[in-house]
Structure 1
């Protein structure tokens, strides 16, 4: 690529989110398909949709884009031979032959997407307690291939960043004595015990060579449901954050604390009591959000209210060009990251213990022939972002466009290259031009397709 050219890659949707993807592979028209370079030229009049990019107007810095390594995915990976496991890790993390994921979500103990009985790292008989964590152990994470798989990924991609989320404290700490539903028992001794438990979990992973950059305090703290879950009020989460920060500092640990980890609709009511409290604001490093309910504009409001607390979109599954546009909106509303939830189910939609029926994942394993798998278009859709938007990139100003033509989001990478991800949700090809710093390029994006455009300013 010269200073007068634009590199282009295109992916297209095909039956987004449909169950047929569990039946077998299908070929979309474009799958991170490179296109001929476009010319950067002097500006000229055009009737095409115009996207104006202003690189001098910068917004949030990107931590990364990635997916989850919950136990369901690892259970399916463990059925494969070593060569296939290595190939999938390469396809997820490599920027040349794969899609360049650099940010992975781990679970602290069990989640709903697991093939195993629910567990934590300190499961006791009814009536027993262990406030000093003498029986703490992450051995199940070793036995279930979680630790070895994460180590294998780190060996292949040493710059990978991990964050972790718990679904439930140990049952003996909870009001109902169960990993399902309930809440943390009242009293400082339980808050301190849980902080100790999480600190030891982070340390245990670090002892296996797996650094945890950040953790959320509780996955979906406003949800009580029939899988591991725990209702946690903002006041209790603030107490836990303070106690956990104290634990980390006492042991020289740098893991960051992200609060909330739930839907936009409840974000204001949950986050503001914590961050409007001086002690809470001092110990919190970031805000984690999910996108299952509520307006994404809430993210921009939170950024305006608490500009020193980065926002992370820690869980969502999206499909097709509508999903690609949803991702653009995350970033346009100040998300510094995006993580897909669940990387690989099998063709029987297994194995998980969620209460609903999941949509197709980016990788699907043949349940009767585990070494066989196929990619859905969402693998490539995510690659349109992750392969090209580098960690440390800044989002830059660009006019959004419209759903009737094209929409977009733009970034400047650390090396100075500019990246625009452009989405066509319509049934017709869409011509458009990009105007930037005295230059322009003209492009045509096929129907129901995502294009990534990279150029040097």
Structure 2
């Protein structure tokens, strides 16, 4: 027998066996905590008394913006800039309630006042000769909100310029020129500036800005809507290469949508509502977006479900719908400031994973679109947790505690229900912490709005320091409990600790 040939054969078989073994043992999903993408700003929805006929109830504010059991943890509220100045206060109750909790409140204009319009096709647009007056109008709204306890986080100068007929129109060139030449003037009240928000993610509204460094510097957030897209849209619709290449330092928000047919069949229709979780996944994991904002918050197709779309039905407290629960699978656990990290995005045809980290937490959100349950293996090198919490929404579960997963050296497997979304939360990883420095007397009494966090990093309130007051005095009004708190100015320019004595 040829011993050299025999040895070579055995060496080949041995190497093949090792390769096969490694392939069998390889995890379906690998998470790389060191490869990072966008920072998350949050999730939320739109409120508009002018068009719905009602404000939210105090109980609704608690459900939407609180993050305890039976609450959604939303961190963004969108309102409309009414063209009629006499109507500017109708959404103040909701905006103030949100702002007092540290929620990001942003506003978008649909139409200019009638005296600033000029005909455009079958509709109208802002008269280019009156852009300064339009800027003054928008800034006056922002000042009104700020002066009345609801400072805007951001301001959008045009809703859906490509849906021409019901409100103001605007071509891609007009919206680019406005952003470039007038965008900076909209920061007069300390708010950020959002681009025109396309109806259907028309990248023609964003490419000219991304391709022009000056225009890009003059806006802060790119905003778009997902109408016209669906679960059947190819991934290429959402995978925006130009933004990934040139949008460094800017955030992209999905600022309005309801998914296909939910507006007709309601926000508890299953499995139709599962499209929401899949769409959020693609917004975050393909588009690198930092925010996802639903249309009306309280509607029979909203995150808060009511029986009919009228003021009478809205006198009852809204109940968390399947749409709300699916949004909550993200909003309750992928908190503002979390950073998306690399993860195998799609496995077994119908399993979609996105991963995030913040402070000592690692969070995975998994969407199973299959009509059968799926068992998936995971590997997270560097994960220190030995157990994780599993929360699930499905046809029979509703943000339900779905048990725990056991982790060994960063590896684990778990089974996901058919047509479901699950969130896996792992604590105790000590990656980052809320940064702050010692309070100085000057910072303690400086006027303005401050977000207040407890020592765990959880935001507990937002305070407004006026002349003669201090951060500590304002904290005591909301938080009678003694302890160490962290104050961060709304513009992010300062952060310091405040020790509240008994």
Q: What is the TM-score when the length of structure 1 is the normalising length?
A: 0.72
1:255 maps to which of 191, 197, 216: 191
Structure 1 residue 73: Cα displacement: 7.9
2:170 paired residue number: 232
Question: 1:195, 1:243 within 8 Å by CA — same for their partners in 2?
Answer: no
Given the alignment, which residue of 341, 362, 368 partners 2:295? Answer: 341
- Aligned counterpart in structure 1 of residue 58 of structure 2, from 86, 101, 107: 86
Which 5+ residue runs of structure 2 have no aligned equivalent? 1-21, 230-235, 260-271, 382-408, 430-502
Conserved? CA contact 1:49–1:401, under 8 Å: no
Provide the residue aligned with 1:140 in structure 2: 87
1:203 aligns with 2:143: yes
Q: Report what 1:314 is aligned to.
A: 255
Matches of 1:262 and 1:391, distance apart in 2? 24
Find 2:29's aligned residue among 51, 56, 80.
51
2:327, 2:252 → 1: CA distance? 19
The residue aligned with 1:96 is 68
What residue number does 1:400 align with? 345
Q: Is the contact between residue 201 and residue 224 of structure 2 (CA under 8 Å) also seen in structure 1? A: no
Residue 265 (structure 1) shift: 5.1
| Map of 2:47 onto structure 1 | 69
3-state SS of 1:423 partner: strand
CA contact (8 A) 1:303 1:311 kept: no
Deviations 1:246-297 (A, max 9, x none): 5346x4x321112131145521x22232343444233122211211236433
Cα-Cα RMSD:
2.7
TM-score (norm 2): 0.66
1:391 has 2:391 as partner: no
Distance across 1 between alignment mates of 2:366 and 2:326: 11
The 5 A counterparts of 1:243-322 are 244-248=182-186, 251=188, 253-263=189-199, 266-267=202-203, 269-293=204-228, 295-318=236-259, 320-322=273-275
Provide the aligned length of Structure 1 versus Structure 2: 357
Which residue matches 2:113? 170
Larger Rg: 2
| Partner SS for 2:140 | helix
1:362 and 1:73 map into 2 onto residues whose CA distance is 18
User: Do the aligned residues in 2 keep the contact of 1:366 with 1:372 (CA within 8 Å)?
Assistant: no
Runs (4 or more) in structure 1 with deviation over 6 Å come to: 44-49
Paired with 2:288 and 2:354, the residues of 1 have a C-alpha distance of: 11
Aligned-partner SS, 1:385: helix
Q: 1:230 to 1:403 in 2, by over 3 A?
A: farther
Q: Using the alignment, how far apart are the partners of 2:181 and 2:68 within structure 1?
A: 43
Residue 426 of structure 1 deviates from its aligned partner by 1.3
* 2:276 paired residue among 317, 323, 332: 323
Match of 1:29 in 2: none
- Counterparts of 2:42 and 2:32 in 1: how far apart (Å)? 22
The Cα of 1:401 is off from its aligned counterpart by 2.1
Aligned counterpart, 1:350: none
CA distance in 2, matches of 1:337, 1:206: 23
Structure 1 residue 363 displacement after superposition:
2.0
- The 3 A distance-change label for structure 1 pair 248 and 263 is closer
Which stretches in structure 1 are left out of the alignment for 5+ residues? 1-43, 79-84, 110-119, 122-136, 347-359
Relative contact order, higher structure (CA 8 A, sep 6+) = 1
Whole-Å separation in 2 of the counterparts to 1:175 and 1:248: 22
Name the SS of the counterpart of 1:169 in structure 2. Answer: coil
DSSP 3-state at the match of 2:128: coil
Describe the shift of the 1:282–1:49 C-alpha distance in structure 2 as closer, same or farther (beyond 3 A): closer
- Which of 389, 410, 432 lines up with 2:376 in the alignment? 432
Return the offset for 1:372. Answer: 5.5
Corresponding residue of 2:481: none
